[in-house]
Every structure is written in C-alpha cells, then in structure tokens.
Amino acid sequence: MRIFQCGNCQFPIYFENTTCLNCGYALGYHSEYDMMVPLQRDHEHWTLIPADGQTYRYCANYQHDVCNWILPTGREQEFCEACALNRTIPHLNSEDNLTAWHQLEKAKHRLIYGLKQLGLPVVSKNEQAETGLAFDFLSDEKNEKGEKNIKTGHANGLITINLAEADSVHREWIRRKLSEPYRTLIGHFRHEVGHYYWDRLVQPYPDEHAAFHRIFGDETQDYAQSLETYYQNGADPNWQQSYISQYATAHPWEDWAETWAHYLHVMDTVETAYSFGLSLHPSITYSDLLKSQATFDPHSETNFDRIIDAFISITFAINSFNRGMGLSDVYPFVIAPAVKEKLRFIHKLVLPYSAG
Ligand SMILES: [Zn+2]
Ligand SMILES: [Zn+2]
Ligand SMILES: [Zn+2]
C-alpha cells in the first residue's frame, strides 16, 4: 500500500490513522477520491479541508474503532463500502471480540483497498445476491448439542473467517501444527477472496478457463477427496518446483487461491516500494541479482518480469532487516519458475481491470 499524507499539513500518515499526529485534524479515508482527507466538524457532520461542497460522516463502524472510512451524508447506507460487505460481525459483548474484530477489519480494509487498486469489481451481496461478496466473522461455539467448529473458507462469494484467527497466539499455534511458514489474517483474506475471483474472472470465460486447466490443472477432480488425500499424505516431496506452498498441491482451486494470495502480496509490496521510491544497490559481486528500481506502478506495468524481479529483491532486503531484528522472514517463500508462470497468468487476467 502506498504512503498517505495529511491533506492539511502533508505529514505522512498510515491508512489506519483517525487523527493527524502533526496538525491534529481528524482524518478519514475517502474511497472515491482514494485519499486520506482531513476533516472539520460542522454541527452533526464533517466537511473536508478544503471543502468539496459535500458533508460527510464516518462509517457506522467508526464508533467501534474498526473503520475510518467516510461517506457523503446524503447516502442511505450506514456503512462504507468495506463494512457493507459484512454479513455477520462478532458479538460485541466482550472486549476480546472487539479486539479480534479490530484486527480482522484492519486486514479486510487493506484487502479491499488492494482489490480496488487492481480495478476489480467489489460488490456486496446486498446489491447482487448471486455474484456479490460478503463476510461472516464467526466463533467456535460450545453448547448442549456439542461443539461447532467454524472453518475459514469461501462458498459462492461468502467468506467465513474464524474469529480465533485474529488471536496471534492461536494463529501461531495452528501455523506450527500445520508446519506453515506464514500465517496471517491478510493472507487468509487474500486466499479466500481468490476463490471468489476464480468464480468471477475464470470460470465464466471459456478461453481463460482452458488456460487455467493448462496451468493449474483440472479442477473437476473431486474436491473433498483431494483435500482428504492431502491431509493424509501431505505434499509431494518435490512440491516446491511447481507450487508456492504445500497446501497449493491439494487441489487446483487451492493452488489458484494460494497463488492469487501471493499475487496480491507481490502487488502490494511493489506498490509500497514504488510509493517510498525504494531502490536497491547492493554491494555484492553480482549486484544485478538484487538490483531493483521500483520506479513504476505495478498496476499499469505490462511486463510482469519487472514486477516479480523487483519483488524478489525487495523481499530479500526486508527479510534481512527482519533477521537483524530477530523476527521471522516477512516473505518465507521461494518463487519457482513454474509459480512465476502462474502469477504471470493472474497478472494478465487482472491487467485489463487495472487499466480500464
Ligand atoms: Zn496534518
Ligand atoms: Zn466502514
Ligand atoms: Zn482455499
């Protein structure tokens, strides 16, 4: 994600800020202007600085400290376009749930921002019941009838996230249990939304669907059976030559969703680097190997090699910073040539949306 600036004093700010630490003005994200805007109270409402002739209010979820997006007062909707996608939110009767929800929304708002930068359609199920997107944030429940375990997953545009995933201790425990190198909330969102966009961008189009078969395999093989086999036997020992993760080997749909998540990681990272004017000039013998100039916006870049080369250099550098701080690698993956081709396919598919 790019760096934002306070529109009043030009101080750099984060996407999640609600006040400018420099000039003290309230801030909100205006999704149509794609800007963090300074706000001034005008009786019941807010106006922009400088004013644009409209009055605004914060999304209804601002009161729970989980959203800083604003919308024009004339609209009927209570929620911003990111929060309007929520079908079920956690019970707000506990502090733990509020904390968990806060984490989920932080990741989800970044997801929605990223999808919109790609120009992809983001439509709520409230507007389009069949083809829209919605989120359920649910907790495991224990009652007289036994235990109800919530599975994080996707079904026909409805993305369910188990609230427990917002707890970093729980998430780390699962990560180690499943021997995963990386497990984050934003990773979950990016993976699950990948299933949704397969339904939207691949499945309906015969040419894209045929290309998908060639690159990812035939998704008509029994899904439940494939997953069961994967959980019993694990991945093929040579999985790294063709897949981004072990889980991607389970079924072509999972390969797609895993690769899609990585595509969003790549685009977000390169966008951030571009925004910061980040360039690398490593003092090593073959400096070309890690020489990256993020002098382009990845969303309009047709040459995918440029994007992926920049990404690989940047992540090597950031991993090194993290190791210096005693943290795990930001990007603990190796992108094999076959995976690069899968990512390239996704970029080609998404590019017309970014451009148009
Ligand atoms: Zn300011
Ligand atoms: Zn909102
Ligand atoms: Zn999946």
Question: pLDDT tens, 112-135?
Answer: 999 999 999 999 999 999 999 999
- State in Å: Cα 185 to ligand 1 middle: 30
Look at the chain and report how many structural domains it folds into: 3
Is residue 180 located within the same domain as residue 213? no
Which helix (H) or strand (E) covers residue 45, if one does? strand 45-48
Helices (DSSP H) in 201-336: which residue ranges? 206-216, 223-233, 252-276, 304-324
Which ligand is nearest to the Cα of residue 259, counting in written order? Answer: 3
Is residue 56 located within the same domain as residue 155? no
Mean pLDDT of 150-156: 94
Which ligand is nearest to the Cα of residue 19, counting in written order? Answer: 1
Q: Select from 137, 169, 199 the last residue of a domain.
A: 199
Is residue 250 located within the same domain as residue 262? yes
Measured over the CA atoms of residue 343, residue 346, residue 352 and residue 356, the dihedral's sign is negative
Is residue 209 located within the same domain as residue 344? yes
In this prediction, residue 143 carries a pLDDT of 67
- State in Å: Cα 7 to ligand 1 middle: 7
Stronger pLDDT, 284 or 238, i.e. the higher one: 238
Is residue 123 located within the same domain as residue 68? no
**Residue 79 corresponds to which tokens in the numbers above?**
């929620």
Which ligand is nearest to the Cα of residue 49, counting in written order? Answer: 1
Residue 146, classed as helix, strand or coil, is strand
Is residue 66 located within the same domain as residue 183? no
Is residue 229 located within the same domain as residue 328? yes
**Average model confidence (pLDDT) for the chain?**
95
Q: Select from 183, 199, 215 the last residue of a domain.
A: 199
Q: Select from 135, 168, 199 the last residue of a domain.
A: 199
Is residue 158 located within the same domain as residue 26? no
- Place 148 in a pLDDT band, splitting at 50, 70 and 90: confident
Distance, in Å, from the CA atom of 222 to the CA atom of 76, rounded to the nearest integer, reads 44
Is residue 210 located within the same domain as residue 338? yes
| Structural domain boundaries, residue 127 | 81-199
Q: What is the pTM of this model?
A: 0.96
- State in Å: Cα 255 to ligand 3 middle: 8
Distance, in Å, from the CA atom of 183 to the CA atom of 185, rounded to the nearest integer, reads 7
- Given a cut of 80, whether residue 145 has pLDDT beyond it is no
